[in-house]
Amino acid sequence: MMPSLRRLLPPIGLAAWFLASAPLRGSEPDLPRFTEEREAAGLHFVKKHLPELLPLLEELQRNNKEQYQHQMREIFRTTEMLADLLDEPKRHDLELKIWKAENRAFVAIAKLSSAKDDERKALEAQIHELARELVDLDIHSLEARVEMIERDLAESREEVARLRDNLDKAVKERYDSLLERVKKRKKAP
């Protein structure tokens, strides 16, 4: 019994370690897998847009590989999302600015906990300035959203008007498309 108890300790420890790390693995199903290519892309993005993050990432890479890889995956996902917004340059630029300002604020907040009194005041001033910038960007973002919704609304109204003006033609087109579907069904094996 005694040796078996001793033998049980390592496997129980391993199981505890596995379970302890499970929440982090399970909580990021949407994140892309970490690869060297994605890491390079993420680092390039950070270097180009927010180089002050590089020392923090280096620190994580040295001392906390798991968190480093998680952050690189997050950053890579950010680059992908921003790339998807390129069709709307205004929104893309705003989102990039928001990401930069948010991360500057996060860095300042993170530094605040270990800052000395004189540094603390400068950091608080910086955070206040960034808060102002973020509110300003929020306003611009909402304006861009309103503009986009208005544009979409105008397009939908035009579409309604076009359908009403060409009711018979629209009915004919729809009828043809329905018949086309039947034909496709018959052709299919």
Partner 1 sequence: MNPHDPHRRSTGLAQKALLYAGGELDAAAAHAFESRLAHDPLSQDALIEAVQLSQLLMGGPLRPDPAYRDRVRSAVLSTPASDERPRARFFRRAATLTIACGLLLAAALALPSDRAPRRSSAPLVVQQAASSSSLAHAAPTHRSEDNSQSSALEDEGEKLETALEWAEMADCGEHLQRTWDEELRRKARHRWPVSHEPFAGEGTGAPARGAE
State the residues that interact with partner 1 by CB under 8 A: 1-2, 5-7, 9-10, 12-14, 16-17, 53, 55-57, 59-60, 62-65, 67, 70-71, 74, 78, 81-82, 84-85, 87-88, 91, 95, 98-99, 102-103, 106-107, 109-111, 113-114, 141, 145, 148, 152, 156, 159, 163, 170, 173-174, 177, 180-181, 184
Distance CA 132, CA 134 (A): 5
Q: Which is nearer to partner 1, 10 or 189 (CB)?
A: 10
- Closer residue to partner 1, CB minimum distance, 82 or 129: 82
Task: Let me know if 130 is exposed, middle or buried by CB neighbors in 10 A (0-12, 13-18, 19+).
Answer: buried
Rounded to a whole number of angstroms, the minimum distance from the CB of residue 104 to partner 1 is 10
Q: Which residue do the tokens 């998680």 mark? A: 70
Q: How far is the CB of 20 from partner 1 (least distance, A)?
A: 8
Query: Is the CB of 38 or the CB of 78 nearer to partner 1?
Result: 78
Tokens 């399970």, residue located:
26
- Cβ closer to partner 1: 114 or 189? 114
d(CA 55, CA 62): 11
Min separation Cβ 159 and partner 1, Å: 6
Rounded least distance, CB 1 to partner 1, Å? 6
Contact 72, 125 (CB under 8 A): no
DSSP string, 49-62: H-GGGHHHHHHHHH
Provide, rounded to whole angstroms, the least separation between the CB of residue 179 and partner 1.
11
106-126 burial, b at 16+ Cβ within 10 Å, e below that, comes to ebbeebeeeeeeeeeeebeeb
Alpha carbons within 13 A on the beta-carbon side of 81 = 14
Whichever of 43 and 109 has its CB closer to partner 1, that residue is 109
Tokens representing 122?
Answer: 């400068």
The minimum distance between CB 90 and partner 1, in angstroms, equals 11
Considering the complex, state which of residue 44 and residue 174 has its C-beta at the smaller distance from partner 1. 174
